[in-house]
Amino acid sequence: MDHDMFKKLLYRVGPRTEKKDMLWRKALELWLRLAITLCYMAKGDSYKVLLYGFRVAHNTKIMMLPEICAATIEEYHEEVLSCPTTQEQWKELAALYSKRWNFYLTVGALDGKHVAIKCPPQGGSNY
């Protein structure tokens, strides 16, 4: 991610995740919280690997990552995650997948993460 895109994301997500300093500790800067979240999402590193890279405690990351992800989804869902509302829009989306990827009768896909699926009873080799 280039610097300008990072600043734009920081500007849009920042107000939703702003933290205040407390008497006993200072809040982590927003840019650092966003950078840790992006590294985690991009590389899939464990919390322990991120500890050495950013020197932020494990328990802090456990609370911070879902919060930043939720704020990002909340900010961008209207633009990026629009869902078709009419039957024609669903058909157009399926036609796009057919044309571009040769996946017929498909309207979406997941990529980049392993999704564990439990085989149903008598599922056989389909799973």
**Alpha-helix residue ranges (DSSP H) falling in 20-57:** 30-43, 47-54
Give pLDDT tens digits for 45-88. 666 677 666 767 666 666 778 888 888 888 888 888 778 889 99
Enclosing domain of residue 17: 3-80
Instruction: Please give the tally of structural domains in the chain.
Output: 1
Question: pTM above 0.85?
Answer: no
Query: Average pLDDT of 93-117?
Result: 80
pLDDT on residue 88: 92
CA–CA separation, 116 and 55 (whole Å): 31
CA–CA separation, 77 and 83 (whole Å): 10
Query: Is 106 inside a domain boundary?
Result: no
Nearest-5° angle of CA 30, CA 34, CA 35?
Answer: 115
Query: Is 43 inside a domain boundary?
Result: yes
